[in-house]
Structure 1
Amino acid sequence: MHLPPINALRTFEAAARHGSFKKAAEALNMTPSAVSHQIKSLEDLLGVPLFRRATRKVHLTDQGRTYLPAVREALDLLRDATERITAKPDKAVLNISAAPSFAVGWLMPRLSAFQVAHPEIETRLSAQIEMVDFTDSDIDLAIRHTARIDTPGVTAHRLMQEELIPVASPQLLEKQPLKTPNDLAKVQLVHAVPRMGRWRSWLRAMGADKVDAESGPKFDHDAMAVQAALSGMGVAIVNRGLVENQLADGTLVAPFPHDLHSDLAFWLVYPKHRGDDPAIIAFRDWLFEQVGQSPQSQTDIPSG
C-alpha cells in the first residue's frame, strides 16, 4: 500500500483534535468541503472509516482512534526534523576542557560573566586531567596545568604562573595562630595528591625544618584541598590564583606573606588552524582580561 499524502494526514489529525470538519478547516485555512474531501480520500485509501459524521460534530471510529497516535507521532517527528535542518543556529557552541582545579576553583565562579558578555556563545565545560587530542575530540580549547606545552599543531598561551601559598580558615587560625612556618607542625597539612611535593618545596624554601611535609589528609585535586581548608580541616597549599575570591572575602586567610613561584603554569591551548575562530578569540580575550594580561603565545614567552 502507498503511504497516505501528508496533507491528508494533517487534515485527519486536525479534524480529530477539533472534533469538527468546520473547525479543522479554520485551523488549516481550508474550506470545510476540502477537509471533507481529504478525509474521504484518506478513508478510501485505507479502506476503513475514520469518523462517524454527525450534524455539527464528528467522532473517531475505533479504527480512527487506533490510527491517530501513530499519525501524531509521525507528524511531530517530521516537524522536529524539518525545524532542525532549516533552523539557523543562533549560538556558537564552545566546548572547553579544563584541569579540575582550574575548572572548579577559578573558571566556574566567573563563567556566568562570560555568558552575559557573549550570549551568542554557549559554553560547555568538562573537567579532566588528561591532555586533549584535538584531532579526535569535540573539544575546542583546553586549559592545562603543566610546565610547558610540547604538543605539535596547537597554539599555547601561558595564562597563570603557579604561585604556591598556604591558606587556612580564619576559625582554624583563631584556635591555632601561626607565627612562623615551623608553627605548621601544630596543625594538619592538607595535600592534593597530584602535587604532593608542594609542601616540601615551600617548607624548604622557608627554612622550616620541624614540619613533616608528608603528614595530613590527602585529596585527589586542588578543589577538594581548598574545600578541606575552608572547612577548617587544616592548612592547604595551593596556587594563589585559584583562591583569590576566598582570600578577598575572608573565608580563607594566608597566614604567611611568602609565595613560592614554581615552574608550573596554567596554559590555554587550541588548534593552530582554529586561531581565527570568533568563539575561541572571544573566550581567549575574555580569559586574559580576567587575569589582567595579554595573550602571549608560548613562542613569545621568555624561557627564563
Structure 2
Amino acid sequence: MRHNLNLNWLRSFEAAARLLSFTSASREIGLTQTAVSQHIKALETQLNTRLFLRRAKSLQLTDAGKAYLVTVREALDMLDMSTTGLFGPRRARTITVRASMAFIVWLSARLGDFLQNHPDTSVEMVTSIWKNPADQQPVDVDIILANQGTARPDLKLLSPEMIVPVCSIASSETINVPDDLLHHSPIHIVGFDDHLARYLAAYGLRIESSAGRLTTDTTTAAIEMVAADLGYAVVIERFARQAIQTGQKIRIVGAPKELGQAHFMVQKDRRDADQSHVKEFEAWLAQQF
C-alpha cells in the first residue's frame, strides 16, 4: 500500500525535527506556525503514528520520529540534488555538441584549449548513438559521418577519414600484416560492418564469413575489446591513434585506406547575434583537423 504523502508535510516535518520548534521551522520555510503544525498533524494521521512529543515549552521526537527523520532527510536531499543537477542554473553561453562516442573521446583530448580561451563558455556533449528521429533535443553543433561525396548545402566538410585494422599488443606474434586478419575473429561494430570488407578489399582479400563472436555499437567499446585481446577491429584511423596516445594497449597492423566517408558539421542559421559563441566553437573545431 502506498501512502499518499504531501511533500510539504515532509518538508515541515524535517524542519521541525531538525530545529525542534514549529515556530522556528515556520520561519525557515516561510509558512505560519499554524500551517506547520497542521502539516505535522496531517502526516501523523496519514502514518497513524506520533512523530513528536509536544510539551508546554519543548518539542521532542518520538523514537519513530527519529527513525523517520533519517529517511525523510535523505529523500529530500536526494530530490534537491537531482533537481539542481538536472534543472539548475546553467551558464548563459552553453554549447551543446552531438557526435559519436568515438568522436567525443577524440575531441575531448583537444577541448581544454577551447575552454581555456573561452572561460565564459561551457560545452555539453551528447552522443548520437542510434538517434531517434523523434528526438527533439536542441543541439548547437551536430557532427555526422556521411559519404564523402554528399552534396548537401547545410554540410561543412571537416575531414575525409581513413580506416585501419587494430589488434592488441598481446597479439604481436600472430597478427602483423592484413593477411593475418583472415585467421582471427573480427569484432563487429554495428553500422560500420562495411569498414572491414572495405579494408580487406583494398588488399584483394575477402573474409570467408561475416560471423564474429563479439558485436558492439560503438567504436570506443570495440577498441576496449581489442585492447583486452578479444579480437581485432577496423576503425577510423584518428580514433585508433587517439586510443594509442592515451595508453590503450592496441596497435595498428596495416597502412591506412580511404573510407570514402568524411566527418561533416551540420550548418545552421547563425544570424542571431547570441550565437556568436557557437560560431567561435565551429571555427575552432574546423581547425582541429
- Do these two structures clear the TM 0.5 threshold for a shared fold by scoring above it? yes
Alignment of 1:5-84 (within 5 A): 64-65=23-24, 67-71=26-30
**Quick one: distance in 2 between partners of 1:274 and 1:149?**
25
Identity %: 19
Q: Distance in 2 between matches of 1:131 and 1:164?
A: 24
Kindly provide the CA deviation profile for residues 256-284 of structure 1, in whole angstroms up to 9, marking residues without a partner as x.
Answer: 12x22122111111312358632122211
Kept in 2: contact 1:219–1:225 (CA 8 A): yes
Residue 271 (1) aligns with residue 268 (2):
yes
Aligned to 1:188: 185
Paired position in structure 1 for 2:103: 102
Distance verdict in 2 for CA 1:68–1:127, change over 3 Å: same
| CA deviation map 1:60-83 (0-9, x unaligned) | 9x773353233389xxxxxxxxxx
The farther-off stretch of 247-256 and 164-173 is: 247-256
Q: Which residue number in structure 2 is paired with residue 208 of structure 1?
A: 205
1:140-179 paired onto structure 2 within 5 Å = 140-147=140-147, 155-173=154-172, 175-178=173-176
Structure (1 or 2) with the larger CA radius of gyration: 1
- CA 1:187–1:290 in structure 2 vs 1: closer, same or farther (change >3 Å)? same
Change (3 A) 1:72 1:107: farther
Runs of 4+ in structure 1 over 4 Å off: 130-133, 148-151
- Deviation at residue 246 of structure 1 after TM alignment: 2.9
Match of 1:283 in 2: 281
Structure 1 98/269 Cα, relative in aligned 2: closer, same or farther at 3 Å?
Answer: same
3-state secondary structure, aligned to 1:226: helix
What's 1:260 paired with? 257
Q: Could you tell me how far apart the structure 2 residues matched to 1:202 and 1:66 are? A: 70
Partner of 2:15: none
Asked if 2 retains the 8 angstrom alpha-carbon contact of 1:199 and 1:213, the reply is no
* Cα deviation code 1:198-237 (max 9, x no counterpart): 2112112211246544434211121111111122212110
8 A contact 1:275–1:281 mirrored in 2: no
Letter in 2 for 1:71: G
Structure 2 stretches lacking a partner, 5+ long: 1-18, 33-89
The secondary structure found in structure 1 opposite 2:233 is strand
- Distance change (3 Å), C-alpha of 1:193 and 1:131: closer
Would you say the 8 A contact 2:187–2:231 is kept in 1? Answer: yes
- What secondary structure, in the 3-state scheme, does the structure 2 residue paired with 1:96 have? strand
Secondary structure class of the residue paired with 1:108: helix
**Considering only aligned residues, what root-mean-square deviation do their CA atoms show, in Å?**
3.4
Matched-pair contact (CA < 8 Å) for 1:200–1:213? no
Using a 3 Å threshold, how does the CA distance of structure 1 residues 67 and 269 change in structure 2: closer, same or farther? Answer: same
C-alpha distance in 2 between matches for 1:278 and 1:201: 40
| TM-score with structure 2 setting the length | 0.62
Q: Which amino acid aligns with 1:165?
A: V
